[in-house]
C-alpha cells in the first residue's frame, strides 16, 4: 500500500499544499478556488480518459503523460489512442468515443463554428506545442529550381500545369500554414493550385508516387521525405510564424461541463509531461525513443531526434541549428490558450472563404479556450500563467497579428478568397 501512495493520486494534504502554494503565486482569487478543490471537490469525475493522437512528433506530451505516469499524480489514467486521420479524430471527439485529443487548433475551431464537419461546441484546454512543422516540395520540383517560395512562384508562372499540394485537414493548422506561405509568395492557393487532404502518415508515400508536388505536415514526415530522398524542406512553420500555436489538447464543451475536474487533471498531467520533455537534452532524446515505437509514431528514432533538437537540413546540402524548433513548454509560455491564437485561425478561415461571414471572433474564442480550467491546472502543476490573454506576432509577410480588429485583418490581405 505504501507504493500505491507514492505513485497514485496525491493525498488531500499534499494536494492542498501544492495547489494553494501555486495559487498564491498566481493570485488570491485562484487561491480561494484551490482551497475549495483541496477540501474534497477536486476528485476527477472520470478516472480513465481516452486521448486520441495522430502519429506525429508533437503527440509526445500526451504519450509521455501516460508512459511517465504524470496522469496518476493527478488521479487519472490516460489511455493514448492512435488514430488514422484528423477526420477520424474529429468524428470520435464529436460522438464521444474519445474523451480528448492531441488535435489541430483549426480543427477544433472549425467544428465549433460548423465549417469543419458536424457542428459541435468544442473546447481547447491548452496548447500542446509551438513550431516544428514544415512545407516540403518534391525532389522533382527542386531539380527544376523550386526550392523556396519565390522560386516556386517563378516555376509555376513559367511552366503552366496543374500543381497539387497537400494539407492534413481543411480547417487545420497545416492548411493555414500552406495557404499563408503560398499567398505570401504571390500564389493563390484557391485558384493557382489544387489542394488535397492527406493524413500525415501517408504524406511521404503519396509524394513518392507523384500524387503531389508539395505538402505541409508536422514532423517527422518532412525529415522523412529528406531521409527517403523524395523531397526537400522549402520552409519551416516557425519561419512563417515564430512560436506559432500548433496542436492543442482539445475536447468538447460538453465533456468540460460534465467532467470539469477530469478536464483539469488531464491538462495538469499533460502540462507536467510538457515540462519534463523541455527540461533537457536527455529527456528529449528519451522522448524520441519512446514515441518512435510502433505503438506511437512508428518510425526510426533518428528521423525524430534531429529536428526536436533544432538540427535541421533542407535536403539540398544546407544544415542549420534552429533555436525556434518544436517547443512543448518553454517555462509555460507554450501552453497558455491565448484567445488571439484561436481567433487567428478564424480570420484565416474567413480569408479563404471557409467561413462565409464574419463572426464575433473574440466571443467565439472565449467560448472555446478554457482559460479558467487552464489556470486551475497550472496551479496544480505549479506553472506560471501570463497576465494577458492576447499576444502579438509578426508573420512572414510582415503583417502583425495582435487579436485586435480581426474582421479588418481577415479582409486586409491582397490575396484572399472571401465571398
Cα–Cα dist 39/281, whole Å = 39
Band of the pLDDT at 24, cuts 50, 70, 90? very low
pLDDT for residue 2: 33
Over the stretch 268-293, which tens digit does the pLDDT of each residue have? Answer: 999 999 999 999 999 999 999 999 99
Which sign, positive or negative, has the C-alpha torsion 385, 387, 390, 396?
A: negative
Return phi, psi of residue 363, to 5°. Answer: -60, -40
pLDDT for residue 116: 86
Q: Which residues contact 180 (CB under 8 A, 6 or more apart)?
A: 240, 241, 348, 395, 396, 397
Using a 10 angstrom Cβ sphere, with 0-12 exposed, 13-18 middle and 19 or more buried, the burial of residue 180 is: buried
Sole residue written with cell 486551475 = 376
pLDDT exceeds 80 at position 32: no
pLDDT for residue 37: 44
Over the stretch 260-270, which tens digit does the pLDDT of each residue have? Answer: 999 999 999 99
pLDDT for residue 414: 97
pLDDT for residue 41: 74
Q: Minimal CA–CA distance to 14: which of 385, 382, 267?
A: 382
pLDDT exceeds 50 at position 31: no
Using a 10 angstrom Cβ sphere, with 0-12 exposed, 13-18 middle and 19 or more buried, the burial of residue 179 is: buried
Residue 117 region by backbone torsions, left for phi larger than 0, else alpha for psi between -120 and 50, else beta: left
Cα–Cα dist 335/174, whole Å = 19
Please tell me whether residue 79 adopts helix, strand or coil conformation.
strand
Cα–Cα dist 117/85, whole Å = 14
61 touches 270 (CB < 8 A): yes
Cα–Cα dist 347/134, whole Å = 21
pLDDT exceeds 80 at position 4: no
Q: Minimal CA–CA distance to 49: which of 101, 84, 87?
A: 101
How is residue 39 annotated by DSSP? I
Please tell me whether residue 332 adopts helix, strand or coil conformation.
coil
Sole residue written with cell 480547417 = 171
For the domain with range 2-129+245-311+328-383, which CATH number is right: 3.40.50.1010, 3.40.50.2300, 3.20.20.370, 3.40.190.10? 3.40.190.10
Q: Outline which parts of the chain fall under CATH 3.40.190.10.
A: 2-129+245-311+328-383, 133-243+314-321
Which helix (H) or strand (E) is 156 found in, with range?
Answer: helix 149-158
76 touches 44 (CB < 8 A): yes
Name the fold adopted by 133-243+314-321: D-Maltodextrin-Binding Protein; domain 2 (3.40.190)
Over the stretch 154-178, which tens digit does the pLDDT of each residue have? Answer: 999 999 999 999 999 999 999 999 9
The three three-digit cell numbers of residue 407, written as one number:
474582421
Number of H helices, E strands in the chain: 21, 14
Amino acid at each position: 500500500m505504501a507504493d500505491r501512495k507514492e505513485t497514485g493520486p496525491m493525498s488531500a494534504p499534499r494536494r492542498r499544499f501544492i495547489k494553494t502554494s501555486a495559487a498564491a503565486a498566481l493570485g488570491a482569487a485562484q487561491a480561494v478556488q484551490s482551497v475549495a478543490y483541496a477540501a474534497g471537490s477536486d476528485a476527477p469525475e472520470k478516472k480513465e480518459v481516452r486521448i486520441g493522437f495522430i502519429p506525429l512528433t508533437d503527440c509526445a506530451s500526451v504519450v509521455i503523460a501516460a508512459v511517465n505516469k504524470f496522469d496518476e499524480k493527478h488521479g487519472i489514467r490516460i489511455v493514448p489512442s492512435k488514430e488514422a486521420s484528423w477526420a477520424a479524430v474529429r468524428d470520435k471527439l464529436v460522438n464521444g468515443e474519445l474523451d480528448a485529443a492531441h488535435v489541430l487548433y483549426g480543427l477544433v475551431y472549425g467544428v465549433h463554428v460548423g465549417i469543419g464537419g458536424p457542428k459541435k461546441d468544442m473546447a481547447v484546454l491548452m496548447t500542446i506545442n509551438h513550431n516544428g512543422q514544415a512545407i516540403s516540395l518534391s525532389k522533382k520540383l527542386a531539380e527544376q529550381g523550386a526550392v523556396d517560395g519565390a522560386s516556386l512562384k517563378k516555376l509555376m508562372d513559367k511552366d503552366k500545369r496543374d500543381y497539387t499540394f497537400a494539407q492534413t485537414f481543411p480547417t487545420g493548422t497545416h492548411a493555414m500554414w500552406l495557404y499563408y506561405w503560398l499567398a505570401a509568395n504571390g500564389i493563390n492557393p484557391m485558384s493557382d493550385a489544387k489542394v488535397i487532404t492527406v493524413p500525415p502518415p501517408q504524406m511521404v508515400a503519396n509524394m513518392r508516387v507523384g500524387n503531389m508536388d508539395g505538402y505541409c505536415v508536422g514532423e517527422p514526415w518532412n525529415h522523412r521525405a529528406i531521409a527517403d530522398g523524395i523531397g526537400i524542406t522549402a520552409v519551416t512553420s516557425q519561419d512563417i510564424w515564430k512560436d506559432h500555436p500548433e496542436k492543442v489538447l482539445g475536447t468538447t464543451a460538453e465533456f468540460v461541463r460534465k467532467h470539469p475536474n477530469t478536464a483539469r487533471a488531464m491538462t495538469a498531467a499533460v502540462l507536467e509531461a510538457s515540462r519534463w520533455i523541455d527540461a533537457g537534452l536527455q529527456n528529449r532524446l528519451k522522448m524520441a525513443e519512446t514515441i518512435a515505437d510502433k505503438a506511437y509514431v512508428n518510425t526510426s528514432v533518428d528521423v525524430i531526434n534531429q529536428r526536436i533538437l533544432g538540427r535541421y537540413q533542407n535536403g539540398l546540402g544546407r544544415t542549420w541549428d534552429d533555436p525556434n524548433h518544436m517547443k512543448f513548454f518553454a517555462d509555460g509560455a507554450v501552453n497558455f490558450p491565448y484567445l488571439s491564437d484561436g481567433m487567428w485561425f478564424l480570420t484565416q478561415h474567413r480569408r479563404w472563404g471557409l467561413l462565409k461571414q464574419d463572426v464575433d471572433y473574440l466571443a467565439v474564442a472565449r467560448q472555446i479556450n478554457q482559460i479558467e480550467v487552464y489556470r486551475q491546472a497550472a496551479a496544480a502543476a505549479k506553472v506560471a500563467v501570463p497576465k494577458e490573454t492576447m499576444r502579438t506576432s509578426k508573420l512572414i509577410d510582415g503583417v502583425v497579428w495582435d487579436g485586435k480588429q480581426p474582421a479588418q485583418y481577415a479582409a486586409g490581405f491582397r490575396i484572399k478568397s472571401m465571398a
